[in-house]
Amino acid sequence: MLEAVTDLFNSITLQSALLSLLFFVITFAASLAIVSLVLVKLPATYFKRSYDRTFLAHHPPLIRGLAIIGKNLLGVALVVVGILLSLPGVPGQGMLTILLGIMLLDFPGKPRFEYWLVSRPKILQAINKLRHRFSKPALVLD
């Protein structure tokens, strides 16, 4: 077992380590930018029960169906990335990325789960701090 770990460390080159670091920095920056953009553009009343969440309601059924499939695939990808970013030792906006992914997914009880997630004090504080930085009103919860 110890030999396998030693061989692994010996096989890592400076080039592969730098390439991994570059990939990490790029994905971290992209994740942070996308999450920030969406949370800033989100209407302040998005988490109120009265908010209409119908997606592309006035488009043809085929376009709406394909868009819903794409939206759900992107949501799953963001939830997976958010889980990875939430692991210890991996810096990033894990919970906010998970929230963004969940917002894109369609499943029963989604509004209730989103509300539960965003009503966590640290998450709500982080979102509202970000929104304040861009002169947007704080999120309004029920």
Q: Is residue 93 part of a domain?
A: yes
140 or 55, higher pLDDT: 140
Number of domains in the chain: 1
Cβ neighbours around 101 below 10 Å, total? 21
Average pLDDT over every residue of 81-108: 79
Is residue 73 domain-resident? yes
19-37 pLDDT per residue, tens: 777 877 887 787 778 878 8
Note whether residue 90 is domain-resident.
yes
Task: Give the C-alpha distances (Å, rounded to integers) separating 85 from 9, 35, 49, 119.
Answer: 23, 13, 30, 20
The Cα–Cα gap between 56 and 141 comes to 24
Instruction: Pick from 87-91, 114-118, 134-138 the range whose average pLDDT is largest.
Output: 134-138
% of the chain with per-residue pLDDT over 70: 91
Spatial distance between the Cα atoms of 46 and 57, rounded to a whole number of angstroms: 17
Examine residue 16 and state whether it is found in any structural domain, yes or no: no
Cα(141)–Cα(124) distance, rounded to whole angstroms?
Answer: 10
Band (135; pLDDT cuts 50, 70, 90): very high
Q: Classify residue 50: in a domain, yes or no.
A: no
* Parent domain of 83: 58-142
Is the pLDDT at 76 greater than 90, yes or no?
yes
pLDDT band for position 5 (cuts 50, 70, 90): low
Predicted local confidence at residue 62, as pLDDT = 92
How many CA atoms, within 13 angstroms, populate the side-chain half-sphere of residue 60?
2
